[in-house]
Amino acid sequence: MKVSHLTGLCLLALSTLASAGDELTLSAKQIATLGIRSAALPAKQAGEVSGLPAQVIVPGGQLFVVSTPLPAMIEQTLVGVGDSVKKGQVLANLQSPALAEAQRGLLQASTQAQLARENLTRDEQLWKEGIISESRYRTTRGQQIETAAALAERRQMLRVSGMSEAAINKLQSGKALGSLLAVTSPIDGVILEKSAAAGQRLDAAVPLFKVGQLHPLGLEIQAPLGQTPRLQPGARVTIPKFGASGKLTAVGHNLSGGNQTILLRAQIDQGTENLRPGQFVEASVAVAGDQAQWNLPNSALARVGNKTLVFVATEQGFRPTNVSVVNEGAQSTMVSATLKGDEKIVVQGTSSLKAKMMGIGGGE
Region of poorest pLDDT, from 178-192, 298-312, 317-331, 342-356: 317-331
> Given a cut of 90, is residue 127 above it in pLDDT?
yes
What is the extent of the structural domain holding 338? 14-47+291-357
Of the ranges 13-17, 19-23, 331-335, which is most confident?
A: 331-335
Residues 233 and 271 reside in one and the same domain: yes
DSSP letter for 176, please: P
Query: So what's the pLDDT on residue 3?
Result: 43
Residues 278 and 316 reside in one and the same domain: no
**pLDDT tens across 172-202, in order?**
887 677 788 889 999 999 999 999 899 999 9
254, 270, 286 - which closes a domain: 286
* Between 207 and 26, the higher pLDDT residue: 207
- Give the residue ranges of DSSP H helices in the chain: 2-20, 28-34, 97-128, 134-160, 165-172, 350-357
Is 337 within a domain?
A: yes
Is 95 within a domain?
A: no
Across 166-170, average pLDDT: 83
Is 252 within a domain?
A: yes
Residues 304 and 344 reside in one and the same domain: yes
Is 225 within a domain?
A: yes
> Given a cut of 60, is residue 290 above it in pLDDT?
no
Strand-pair partners of 251: 264
Pairwise CA distance, residues 186 & 84, whole Å:
13
| Nearest in space to 119 (alpha carbons), one of 98, 137, 92, 94 | 137
241, 262, 286 - which closes a domain: 286
249, 270, 286 - which closes a domain: 286
Q: How many domains does the chain have?
A: 2
Burial class (CB in 10 A: 0-12, 13-18, 19+), 364: exposed
Is 312 within a domain?
A: yes
- Strand 217-224 versus strand 261-270 pairing type: antiparallel
Residues 310 and 349 reside in one and the same domain: yes
Cα 1-349-20 angle, rounded to 5 deg: 70
**pLDDT tens across 110-126, in order?**
999 999 999 999 999 99
Is 165 within a domain?
A: no
Percent of the chain with pLDDT over 90: 49
Residues 38 and 54 reside in one and the same domain: no
Across 325-331, average pLDDT: 77
Query: So what's the pLDDT on residue 288?
Result: 66
Residues 282 and 295 reside in one and the same domain: no
CATH number at residue 229: 2.40.30.170
Residues 262 and 298 reside in one and the same domain: no
Residues 282 and 325 reside in one and the same domain: no
Pairwise CA distance, residues 310 & 293, whole Å:
14
Is 336 within a domain?
A: yes
CATH number at residue 18: 2.40.420.20
Is the bond into 240 cis (omega within 30 degrees of 0)?
no
Is 310 within a domain?
A: yes
Pairwise CA distance, residues 179 & 236, whole Å:
53
Residues 297 and 265 reside in one and the same domain: no
Across 19-47, average pLDDT: 79
**CA end-to-end span of the chain:** 24
pTM given for the model: 0.62
Residues 318 and 348 reside in one and the same domain: yes
Residues 299 and 353 reside in one and the same domain: yes
Residues 304 and 263 reside in one and the same domain: no
Query: So what's the pLDDT on residue 317?
Result: 87
Region of poorest pLDDT, from 222-231, 274-283, 314-323: 222-231
Contact 293, 47 (CB under 8 A): yes
